[in-house]
């Protein structure tokens, strides 16, 4: 175990989506809390959301030109080798300048070049895999990684068993205690204290099916006494706002992105969400009834697997993406009509949470630093 007063130099790489970025920031925060003198440098992909979100969290970040390979035939694939070589070259320079004692990869193609270089130089590396189906970058880096922190059982089918730590996914610290935040949240979002709050989350970029499902049911939801706090994502915000404004509905509150997630969770009576790794981990901690609508457009249908881990324990409801439009209100009505059902879901999902994930990852990282 390392001295708490020692000054560490840690690099953290990965990103592309909130599901990679927020766990990375949570790891950095937990490390700084235990080692206040530490220096942390993030490395992400130029033009991706980490280049904005990481500085907002108070950390420095460097960008690489690396981009992912498109699965379909695409001209952008022709530039992939050149971007990769350029990113490896910059990674070498960053490592030489920063001299890290360890490098953390949280997945996403941005972490590939940096960890490849670090592993080649014998610098300890730790991988954090958020999903039940491992990402390609982490699978490629696993052989030379010193530790691999995962959120789901059965990950030895992707990674060497002796390197796996079942830590859970690290989440933003502000959601660990929502006590006393409901009143503040009602005022912050301009909500009616006498209406049930439906919180709708489609991820940072948005989810077309969820957005279409809310559009289809929003009039009926408002008429039935619900109000909707709706993160629709940046790709859909303009379209959703225009449609809601034309509807004359007063209790449908559309947001492009909700930064104050602790307040959103505190005020929610029920949540409709995709079942990406970060969403699932956070929702298990906030202990609210959840309707998962898994995205079908992910590797090995891992969002359905994520959701089923909870549905099988009577800890969430699953609504198929193909059946969601026109079914949201009906699903919520059935949930609240059955006495005690909402409370049971909230209680059971809490049992599956792992509140100390960030601290456990910090411990694993300390152990691999010589």
Per the annotation, does 258 bind a ligand? yes
Tell me, yes or no, whether 15 and 155 share the same domain.
Answer: yes
Residue 336 lies in a domain: yes
Contact 296, 274 (CB under 8 A): no
Q: Is 170 left (phi over 0), alpha (psi -120 to 50) or beta?
A: beta
Tell me, yes or no, whether 143 and 208 share the same domain.
Answer: no
Number of domains in the chain: 2
Bridge-partner residues for 91, per DSSP? Answer: none
Helix (H), strand (E), coil (C) string for 174-239: HHCCCCCCHHHHHHHHCCCCCCEEEEEECCCCCCHHHHHHHHHHHHHHHHCCEEEEEECCCCCHHH
Residue 3 lies in a domain: no
What is the reported pLDDT for 19? Answer: 79
Per the annotation, does 367 bind a ligand? no
Per the annotation, does 33 bind a ligand? no
State which residues form the domain around 213. 177-351
Residue 2 lies in a domain: no
Tell me, yes or no, whether 147 and 193 share the same domain.
Answer: no
Tell me, yes or no, whether 158 and 187 share the same domain.
Answer: no
What is the reported pLDDT for 73? Answer: 52
Tell me, yes or no, whether 248 and 307 share the same domain.
Answer: yes
Per the annotation, does 111 bind a ligand? no
Per the annotation, does 69 bind a ligand? no
**What whole-number distance in Å separates Cα of residue 323 and Cα of residue 69?**
31
Residue 217 lies in a domain: yes
Tell me, yes or no, whether 166 and 273 share the same domain.
Answer: no
Contact 319, 327 (CB under 8 A): yes
Tell me, yes or no, whether 285 and 230 share the same domain.
Answer: yes
Per the annotation, does 243 bind a ligand? no
Per the annotation, does 275 bind a ligand? no
Contact 67, 45 (CB under 8 A): yes
Per the annotation, does 76 bind a ligand? no
Tell me, yes or no, whether 360 and 338 share the same domain.
Answer: no
Per the annotation, does 368 bind a ligand? no
Per the annotation, does 131 bind a ligand? yes
Per the annotation, does 168 bind a ligand? no
Tell me, yes or no, whether 99 and 207 share the same domain.
Answer: no
Contact 13, 106 (CB under 8 A): yes
Residue 249 lies in a domain: yes
Q: What is the model's pTM?
A: 0.84
Element containing residue 10 per DSSP (H, E): strand 9-13
Residue 305 lies in a domain: yes
Tell me, yes or no, whether 151 and 226 share the same domain.
Answer: no
CATH number at 185 reads 3.40.50.2000
Tell me, yes or no, whether 359 and 313 share the same domain.
Answer: no
Tell me, yes or no, whether 163 and 258 share the same domain.
Answer: no
Give the HSE-up count for residue 100: Cα atoms under 13 Å, Cβ half-sphere: 29
pLDDT tens for the chain, residues 1 to 370: 445 567 799 999 988 777 789 899 999 999 999 999 999 999 999 998 899 999 999 999 999 998 755 445 555 556 667 888 999 999 999 999 999 999 999 998 889 999 999 999 999 999 999 988 898 899 999 999 999 999 988 899 999 999 999 999 998 888 988 999 999 999 999 999 999 999 999 876 779 999 999 999 999 999 999 999 999 998 999 999 999 999 999 999 999 999 899 999 999 999 999 999 889 999 999 999 999 999 998 878 889 999 998 999 999 999 999 999 999 999 999 999 999 999 999 999 999 999 999 999 999 999 999 6
């Amino acid at each position: 175990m390392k001295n708490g007063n020692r000054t560490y130099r840690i690099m953290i790489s990965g990103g592309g989506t909130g599901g990679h970025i927020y766990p990375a920031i949570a790891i950095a925060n937990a490390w700084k809390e235990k080692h206040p003198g530490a220096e942390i440098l993030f490395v992400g992909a130029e033009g991706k959301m980490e280049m904005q979100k990481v500085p907002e969290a108070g950390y420095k970040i460097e960008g690489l030109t690396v981009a992912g390979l498109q699965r379909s035939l695409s001209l952008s694939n022709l530039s992939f080798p050149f971007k990769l070589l350029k990113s490896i070259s910059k990674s070498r320079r960053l490592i030489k300048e920063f001299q890290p004692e360890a490098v953390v990869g949280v997945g996403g193609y941005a972490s590939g070049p940096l960890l490849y270089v670090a592993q080649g130089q014998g610098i300890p590396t730790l991988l954090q895999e958020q999903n039940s189906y491992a990402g390609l970058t982490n699978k490629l880096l696993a052989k030379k990684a010193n530790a691999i922190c995962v959120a789901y059982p059965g990950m030895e089918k992707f990674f060497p068993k002796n390197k796996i730590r079942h830590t859970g996914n690290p989440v933003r610290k502000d959601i660990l205690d929502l006590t006393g935040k409901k009143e503040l949240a009602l005022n912050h979002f301009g909500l009616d204290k006498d209406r049930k709050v439906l919180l709708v989350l489609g991820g940072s970029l948005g989810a077309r099916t969820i957005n279409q499902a809310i559009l289809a049911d929003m009039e009926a939801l408002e008429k039935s006494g619900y109000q909707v706090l709706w993160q629709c994502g940046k790709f859909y915000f303009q379209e959703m706002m225009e449609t809601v404004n034309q509807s004359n509905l007063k209790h449908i509150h559309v947001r492009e992105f909700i930064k104050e997630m602790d307040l959103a969770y505190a005020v929610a009576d029920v949540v409709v969400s995709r079942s990406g790794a970060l969403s699932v981990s956070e929702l298990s901690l906030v202990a609210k009834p959840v309707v998962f609508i898994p995205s079908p457009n992910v590797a090995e249908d891992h969002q359905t697997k994520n959701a089923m881990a909870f549905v099988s324990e009577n800890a969430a409801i699953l609504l198929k993406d193909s059946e969601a439009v026109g079914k949201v209100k009906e699903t919520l009505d059935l949930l609240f009509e059955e006495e005690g059902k909402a409370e049971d879901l909230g209680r059971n999902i809490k049992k599956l949470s792992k509140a100390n994930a960030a601290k456990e990852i910090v411990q694993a990282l300390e152990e691999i630093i010589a």
